[in-house]
Structure 1
Amino acid sequence: MERPELPLPQLHAFVVLAEELHFGRTAARLGIAQPPLSQQIRRLEDKVGHALFTREPGRVTLTPAGRELLPAARRALTDLADGLAAARAVGSGRAGRLRIGFAASLALTVLPGLLRTFRQRYPGVHLDIHEMTTAPQIAALHDKTIDIGLLREPPTDETGLGFATVLSEPFVAVLPSTHPLATHRTVQLARLADSPFVLLPRTVGPTLYDQIIGLCTAAGFTPRIAQHAVEWQTVCALVETGLGVSLAPASTRRIRLKGVAFRGIEPNTARTRVAVAWRKSDHNPLVAHLLATISPDPPDSTPSACGPS
C-alpha cells in the first residue's frame, strides 16, 4: 500500500494545534488566519483518511488517530530541524569530515601544531588522517580520496592541483655514530663519495629523490645506493645498523636514535620544501579553513569559501 505524502507545513500546523487545542491561538502562533489553518488541518485529515481532532463549540480535542500521529509528526519536524542545522554547519565549514594525507616526517614538524590549532577553531569537524608519501598523496588528491595533502617537494607539472609552501628546511647528513665524519660539526658532501647510501625510492618522491641525487652530482659523485626505505624513520634505522649514510631533511634530527649522527652539510645552499596541496576545483569550505589555518592569507588559487617526507 502506497504511503501518503505528508507535507511538513501541514504537520507543523497539526502539532501546534495539538499543543494549543484552540484554532485562534494556533493561528496567532503560526502567523496565519484561521481559515487557512482549518484548510491545512482538513487536507492533512484527508491524507490520513480519518479525523485528527474533534471540534465542539469552545473545545478541540485529539482523536485516537490524532494521538497516534502526534509523536511521529514531532519526530519528523525535529529530524528536519536537525538536518537543516547539520546541513548549514557543513555548508559553512563548521562541521563535516576533512581527509588529510601527510608525509611521515611532518609529524615531527608542522603537523601537530596545525591539527591542534584547527581542532581548536573547528571542534565540530572530524579529521580523517592518512600517512602517505608524496606520490600516493598526489594520486589520492586526483582520485578525491583525500581533500588536503601535506607533502615534501611537490611535483611542478601537476594540473588541477594548487600548492603553497608551508616551510623549507636544509638537508643534513645522516651518519652512523661510528662513521669517521660523525665527529665533525659539518660534512663536505664530496667526502661521502665512497660511502654507500640509504635513500627513499624515486617512485615515492621523484622531486625529492632527484634533488638529493643532484646535490651529490654537484659535489662530484654519483651516490652508490645500497638500500631503499620508504620512510625517513626507516632510513635512519638502517643507517644506524651501518648499511650506509643518507641525506635527509633537517627535521629528521628529531628522530632519536643513539647510533645516528646528524650533521650539517657543505655546501649548504639547497633546501627542501614542505607544501600543502589541494584540488583547485574543490569548493569544500573545510579545505579553505585548513589553508587559512596554515596561512592567514591563502594564495589566490585556494578554494572559494572556502611526499614523502
Structure 2
Amino acid sequence: MEQRPELPLPQLYAFTVLAEELHFGHAAARLGIAQPPLSQQIRRLEEKVGHPLFHREPGGITLTAAGRELLPAAQRVLTELADGLAAARAVGSGETGRLRIGFSASLALTVLPGLLHTFRERYPGVHLDIREMTTAPQLAALHDRSIDLGLLREPPDTDTELRFRTVLSEPIVAVLPSGHPLASQRTVRVAQLADSPFVLLPRAAGPQLYDRITGLCTAAGFTPRIGQHAVEWQTVCALVEAGLGVTLAPASIRRIRLKGVAFRRIGPGTARTRVAVAWRQHDRNPLVAHLLAAVSRSHHDHPTTG
C-alpha cells in the first residue's frame, strides 16, 4: 500500500526557514507572518515527528539531532518540488519538451534548415526529434500519433483529420543525364521526354506527387515508361546520372550536385509542386503551435522559389 506523506509543505517550509535563520523573529519576517503562527507551525510539525526539532534556550535556538536529520530531506523535497513546478510550467507553455517532426528528404535542401534554426533560437530547451520519411509514411505517422508535425509534398485534399498549410511552391524541372540530347536546350517540353525511360519514386511513397508527375506526362500525350524506382531523390538523380532514365522533379533537387546530371526548365508554362506542413486538426500541444508560428514567419520571408 502506498504510504501517504504526513508532513504538510507549509510546515516543512517554515521549518527550513527557521533552521536557516535560527531566530523566530527573523524567520517570521522572511515568511511574511507573525511569530505566533510560525510557532504553531513548528509545534504541529514536532508533534508529527514525535520529537522536538529545536532547542529553545534563553540565548536563542539550535537544531536538535532530529532537526539536523530532517533538514536536508526537507530542503531536498522543497527544491525538487520547485524544480518540478518550473518544469511543468515550461512544458505547459511550450518552452521545453519534445517535438517529433517528419520531413521529406528533399526539404533538407530548402525549408527545413532555416525553419529549425528559427525554432531553436526561440525555444532552445525543446528537444527536436527529426525523422526523414516520404509523404505517405508521414501521413500514417500523424494519424497514429508517432510524429507531431510533417513537412511533405502535395498534401491530400480528402484527409479531414489533418490540417495543412502551404510552406513552399516550387517549379517542377526535367532531370536528364548530361549527355542526353535534350540537355543542350534551356527549356524542355514534357512531350520530348516520351521516348526516354523514367526514374521515379514509387507511388506508395507519395501518391499525390507521383500522380502530379505522371499527370504532366499524360497531358503531354504519353504514359511514362518507368525504368527504375528509387525511394530518395538523391538515388533518383544518381540513377539518372548513370543513364538509366530521366525524370521530372521539384526544382530544389538541383541542389544535389552531380556532375553527370542536367536540370532544365519545362515548358510551355510552369508546373509547380506544393510543400505543406501537416498536423492533427485538434492537437493542443503548445510546441505544435510554436512550430506553426515559425513556419508562418519562414513562409512570409520566402513564400515561393523558382
With structure 2 as the length reference, what TM-score do the two structures score?
A: 0.93
Higher mean C-alpha deviation, range 288-297 or range 114-123: 288-297
| 1:282–1:14 CA distance, 2 compared to 1 (3 A) | same
1:101 is paired with a residue of what secondary structure? strand
Classify the secondary structure of the residue corresponding to 1:226.
strand
Q: Which runs of 5+ in 2 are unaligned?
A: 300-306
Structure 2: which amino acid aligns with 1:183?
Answer: S
Q: What's the secondary structure of 1:158's corresponding residue?
A: coil
Q: What letter is aligned with 2:136?
A: A
Q: Secondary structure of 1:281's match?
A: coil
Shift of residue 241, structure 1, vs aligned partner:
0.9
Contact 2:202 2:229 in 1 (8 A): yes
Aligned residues: 298
- Partner SS for 1:257: coil
Residues 1:270 and 2:271 are matched in the alignment: yes
Letter in 2 for 1:199: L
Cα 1:36–1:285 shift into 2, 3 Å: same
Tell me: CA distance 1:170–1:3, structure 2 relative to 1, closer, same or farther (3 Å).
closer
Q: CA distance change for structure 1 residues 3 and 147 in 2, over 3 Å: closer, same or farther?
A: closer
Are positions 1:165 and 2:185 aligned together? Answer: no
The match for 2:141 is 140
Which residue of the partner structure matches residue 249 of structure 1?
Answer: 250
Asked if residue 83 in structure 1 is aligned to residue 69 in structure 2, the reply is no
Alpha-carbon distance in 2 for matches of 1:226, 1:260: 17
Gaps of 5+ in 1: 299-309
Asked if 2 retains the 8 angstrom alpha-carbon contact of 1:137 and 1:149, the reply is yes
CA RMSD in angstroms, aligned pairs only = 1.7
**Residues in 2 aligned to 1:10 and 1:142: alpha-carbon distance in whole angstroms:** 48
SS in 2 for 1:295: helix
The Cα offsets for residues 230-256 of structure 1, whole Å up to 9 and x where unpaired, read as 111111111111111111001100000
How far apart are the structure 2 equivalents of 1:135 and 1:289?
Answer: 24
Q: Quote the offset at 1:43 in angstroms.
A: 2.2
Shift in CA distance, 297/105, structure 1 to aligned 2, threshold 3 Å = closer
Offset at residue 197 of structure 1 (A): 0.5
Q: Provide Cα deviations, 1:246-300, integer angstroms capped at 9, x if missing partner.
A: 11001100000111111111233321000011112111111111111121499xx
Where does residue 217 of structure 2 map in the other structure? 216
Residue 156 (structure 2) pairs with residue 155 (structure 1)? yes
Mapped partners of 2:138, 2:5: distance in 1: 49
After TM superposition, list the pairs within 5 Å mapping 1:15-30 onto structure 2. 15-30=16-31
1:1-309 equivalence runs, <5 A? 2=3, 4-296=5-297
8 Å CA contact retained: 1:171, 1:271? yes
Whether the aligned pair in 2 keeps the contact of 1:171 and 1:268 (CA below 8 Å) is no
Aligned residue type for 1:205: G
For residues 5 and 173 of structure 2, the distance between their equivalents in structure 1, rounded to whole angstroms, comes to 72
Rounded Cα–Cα distance in structure 2 between residues aligned with 1:263 and 1:144: 39
Instruction: Report deviation, 1:4.
Output: 4.4
Q: Distance in 2 between matches of 1:211 and 1:43?
A: 75
List structure 1 runs of 4+ shifted beyond 4 angstroms.
1-4
Identity of aligned residues (%): 81
